[in-house]
Structure 1
Amino acid sequence: MESPSGAWDEVETKTFLTETTVPIRLSCHTPDGQLWMLSLWYALRNGTLHCATSKHADVVRYLQADNRVAFEISTNEPPYMGVRGNGRATIEPDENKTQLRSLIERYLGDTDSALADRLLNPEREEVAITITPHRLYTWDFSDRMADVAAQQR
């Protein structure tokens, strides 16, 4: 993983990305040059971000045409904090749904749900998306939002 700039060092960034289970907001270009953004589940492994989606999702076609991406992983409640950056995405088949199963377990705790059943349906073709970050920036507004966060508890 690239050394981040901003509020956190590499260890703090890895800790946040490993412990936080909010979706990654991923931005890419469509083949006609427009911008596209979507949210996906992710996991950090060996300095890269790993996602999964349907083989037939629009984003797969978009990333095959242009693999440059920007992303943000941030909290949705105060105090706001997170990681944003850019990099390149690669796509590989996830024939055994290994990546998808791992993400379901990370976000849902197990594969015992209607959503997991639908996603793991044998008829559904999956791909694994690996994002290799080139630039990372971190922020943490905990100090400046301490009173707001305390009011929400």
Structure 2
Amino acid sequence: MNLTGPWDRSRVDEFLADATIPVRIGCRTPADDPWMVSLWFRWDGAVHCATGADADVVGFLAADDRVSFEISTNDPPYMGVRGRGRATTTADGDKRLLRSLLERYLGGTDNDLGDRLLRPEREEVHVRIEPERLHSWDFTGRMPSRAPPVETGPSDPSE
């Protein structure tokens, strides 16, 4: 795998293991149109996502397994990892990956979303992206963090 940017592999692994922001995945439809989808993920040297077996992206990846992806912060200072690779999809009958993602992003499965996604009749798919290239960026040195709101005192002048 080709790695470029300011971070070494251990820093990339640390960022991706700790990030609880969705991965944005770019792929192609069978008509060769670009497509983008955001999914929850976990990282172990590959990107692992869960989605419903009937999701459009599952069919798109069956037609063309080449993907691009990005995991990046939404607030300054901006930093993240982008890359490209190949995706495979496999059935996740026991929904093990989905359960781990609900734990990671929501702190558990005992919630409305968990109840809906973990229904026995819902078929789940494990999407695994094997990276071929990764590029990191980190604008911490060039960009301030978003400052907390400034307290202006009471809004009612009589206080």
Is the structural similarity TM-score above 0.5?
A: yes
Q: Which residue of 2 aligns with 1:14?
A: 13
Identity %: 54
> How much does 1:150 deviate?
5.1
Listed as ranges, the gaps of 5+ residues in structure 2 are 150-159
TM-score (structure 2 length as normaliser): 0.91
> How much does 1:123 deviate?
1.2
- 1:3-152 matches, within 5 Å, as 4-45=3-44, 47-146=45-144, 149=145, 151-152=147-148
Matched residues in 2 for 1:24 and 1:64: separation?
Answer: 19
Report Cα offsets for 1:95-147 as digits up to 9, x if no partner: 0001111111111111110011111111110000000000000000011112x
TM-score (structure 1 length as normaliser): 0.94
How many residues end up aligned between the 2 structures? 149
SS in 1 for 2:89: strand
Letter aligned with residue 151 of structure 1: A
Matched residues in 1 for 2:146 and 2:104: separation?
Answer: 28
- Larger Rg: 1 or 2? 2
Contact residue 4 and residue 13 of structure 1 kept, 8 A: no
Contact residue 77 and residue 146 of structure 2 kept, 8 A: no
> How much does 1:151 deviate?
2.3
Listed as ranges, the gaps of 5+ residues in structure 1 are none
SS in 1 for 2:147: helix
Matched residues in 1 for 2:115 and 2:105: separation?
Answer: 14
